[in-house]
Amino acid sequence: MIDVYPDKYEPLLEEKKRFIETLFQEFEHPEPVLYRSSPSHFRERAEFKIWHEKGTLSYAMFNKGDKTPIKLKSFPRANKKISDLMPALLEKVKASEPLARKLFQIDFLTTLRGGTLVTLIYHKKLDETWEQAAIALKESLGIDLIGRARKQKVVFDNDYVIEKLNVADKEFRYQQVENSFTQPNAGVCEQMLSWAYQNSLNSEGDLLELYCGNGNFTIPLSQNFNQVLATEISKISVKSAHFNLEANHIKNVNIVRLSSEEITQALNHEREFRRLAHIKLDDYQFKTVFVDPPRCGLDDDTIKLVSRFDRIIYVSCNPNTLRENITKLPQHKIEKFALFDQFPYTDHIECGVILTKEKI
């Protein structure tokens, strides 16, 4: 949960690969290509409980089902920014009664090539005395800072960081908002983006993307298609996606706040949506669909939708639901197979597959 074991990294990764090969043995597919993480300092975000004991504070984590705190002096899974900031931040918080009192959690959100944001979370109302101490803390450490309490959110100066990721020798900028989903392992995220980009080069037609989030994949993939229509249901993510399109000067993407079920209804001309009033769906010539769904995978209606496409680019955070979904796409074969080690030293592995419809 806490330590890293660089000497065990490769054997553990090979175990994951063998598991995936067994899980997908019923399908014909190329050998999965492995995309490795750094063996240490790989997480761009981390959340810690704060343990109060005998007048002092400690970072703490808990094993599932166990209320005994594991007090931390370091966290080598976190990136260097977090690792270096943790002791300095805690010492300054300890020295300030307004900052220390009733503090129960500290969240870190950092980047490979951008800023750092820290959130202090309390069981008390944040008053003017706290704000003065928080401003001094922010300025002394050179970070952005948020204070949270019940029905309160106090921000100095931004509630987001700007990440910079390189794909195909080009830098892309991403707004990543506090308390919303972002990829925790930015090094592996860059490899995922590059894999999707390289495997969609010279594409014909337009791209439909479901579950686009803040435009993580949308932005580099837009380079390879005439037009992109991307959907997402989270208001925060849609807002960030629009910010990111503008920041990267992307002009050929429309993002709409629709669920996969709703976009299916719209494409089938079963229902009209005001959120699509400015978009002429019949002007799109979709040949490729990109999906990066939640752990539950694609529902049956969405599977019916994606089955129409000549090519499906599917990034999955749950190999089991990916396998179940592929069994329901019998006309498609696995053309490319990749494994992305987002979470070293766990059983978790993310998969990427390119599915192409067989000619009949």
- Of 16, 28, 183, give the one whose Cα is nearest residue 109: 183
47 is an active site residue? no
Catalytic one of 204, 317, 324, 358: 317
Please give the C-alpha separations between residue 75 and each of 3, 87, 336, in angstroms, as whole numbers: 7, 11, 35
Strand partners, 51: 58
324 is an active site residue? no
**Four-point Cα dihedral 326, 329, 335, 339, nearest 10:** -20
Catalytic one of 44, 209, 350, 351: 350
- Of 115, 247, 265, give the one whose Cα is nearest residue 171: 247
**Cα–Cα dist 291/117, whole Å:** 29
- Enzyme catalytic residues: 317, 350
